[in-house]
Amino acid sequence: ILISHGTGDFGLHFMFVLVIFAFYLGIATVYNIRKRVPSIVADLVLIFLNAATFFAWSSYLLTDTFMVDYMGFYAVFLAVLYLYIGKMSYAMAREDIKRVYTLFLVSFVLVTIAIPLQLNDYYIGFAWFAEALGLAYIAQRLNSQPALYAGIGVFFLGLFESFFEIFTLFKSQWFFFNAPTFLFLFGIGVSYLLARMAKKVGWPKDLQKVVPGLLYGLFLTFIFFVLIVENHDFFSRAEIDFFLSPEQLTLSALWLIYAIVLFTLGMKRHNPYMRYSALSLMAITIIKAFFIDLASLSTIFKIILFIILGLSLLGVSYYYQRKKDEI
């Protein structure tokens, strides 16, 4: 088939691939469902390899047709097919849950692949974040840990795509009101909802707080990353020269404000990890202020910086003393 692609009858070649695909799909799924035969590892591997091989070969054959611009929709069509077969398998032989999960996994992988096949640039990130949110919602409704793990995996794909959009951000015409920034904000919102939904999924006792806690940490880290990137983008658009590069000074101020907000939320929610993270960030900010910011400041601005840092530390200490009995 691969050798004769483009030189023979496309319909004949595609039909041959389709028949082989249907034959192996029938062996691995339909036959076992009808005969009530439980799936073994070989059956599950066959389901996955059959789907991967068929999608690769059929996509190769379709590259010389009008479908070349719609390969993402083709992948979604196959995903819906596997979703339907998985639903049928669950209805007819729900005791064979491994086969059901394998069919749903194939559907999930096809949808994930369809996104970069059909979309471009930052739309890929938006779609992956949306898919991650959808999987997390399914995990919450079905109390399914595998669905949540899949959502987390897709979220990291969206996060990876967001990092590439940093280069687009610095070339955009407007500060903040641009597609990469909206992608960052959407990703922050999705990471927060992932953490919220993870709390509603039934976990073993040793993971009950670990997984949601890690996702909340990811949410807070994402915010920290976006603050740094947006601050740099703002000051890269204009040359400002007075006393000190205001980029570093503003960055320290943003870190300090963020640390104070984290500390306050940690106190109100009785969350020690949030409080310790806030204190660590505050310590990093103070070290940065002493070793980087103060080096180029004039005397009056050094005094102002010391006052701001001192008042912030006093405020945090006072708030802690007032609320420590409630922790």
Distance, CA of 279 to CA of 263 (rounded, Å): 7
* Residue 220 and residue 267 in one domain: no
Using a pLDDT cut of 90, give the percent of the chain over it. Answer: 33
Domain end point (choices 201, 219, 238): 238
* Residue 127 and residue 195 in one domain: yes
User: Model confidence over 5-55: pLDDT tens digits?
Assistant: 454 577 777 888 888 888 888 877 777 777 777 778 888 888 899 999 999
* Residue 231 and residue 250 in one domain: no
Domain end point (choices 89, 118, 147): 118
Amino acid sitting at position 84: Y
Alpha helices in the chain (DSSP H): 10-25, 31-35, 41-62, 71-92, 97-118, 122-142, 145-169, 179-198, 210-236, 246-268, 272-288, 299-323
Q: Tell me the average pLDDT across 284-313.
A: 78
* Residue 5 and residue 28 in one domain: yes
* Residue 152 and residue 162 in one domain: yes
* Residue 149 and residue 249 in one domain: no
Q: What is the reported pLDDT for 1?
A: 42
* Residue 218 and residue 277 in one domain: no
Q: Tell me the average pLDDT across 164-186.
A: 87
Q: Which residue has the higher pLDDT, 175 or 221?
A: 221
User: Model confidence over 147-157: pLDDT tens digits?
Assistant: 899 999 999 99
Q: Tell me the average pLDDT across 121-148.
A: 91
Whether the per-residue pLDDT at 243 is higher than 50: the answer is no
Q: What is the reported pLDDT for 2?
A: 47
* Residue 133 and residue 103 in one domain: no
* Residue 254 and residue 222 in one domain: no
Q: Contact at 8 Å (CB) between 265 and 274?
A: yes
Q: Which of 31-45, 121-135, 295-309 has the highest mean pLDDT?
A: 121-135
Distance, CA of 103 to CA of 180 (rounded, Å): 34
* Residue 253 and residue 297 in one domain: yes
Specify the pTM: 0.82
Whether the per-residue pLDDT at 241 is higher than 70: the answer is no
Q: Which residue has the higher pLDDT, 94 or 282?
A: 282
State the total domains in the chain: 3
Q: Tell me the average pLDDT across 177-197.
A: 93
Angle at 303 between CA 302 and CA 309, to 5 degrees: 90
Domain end point (choices 72, 90, 118): 118
Q: Is 72 left (phi over 0), alpha (psi -120 to 50) or beta?
A: alpha
Range of the domain at 218: 120-238
Q: What is the reported pLDDT for 296?
A: 67
Using a pLDDT cut of 70, give the percent of the chain over it. Answer: 92
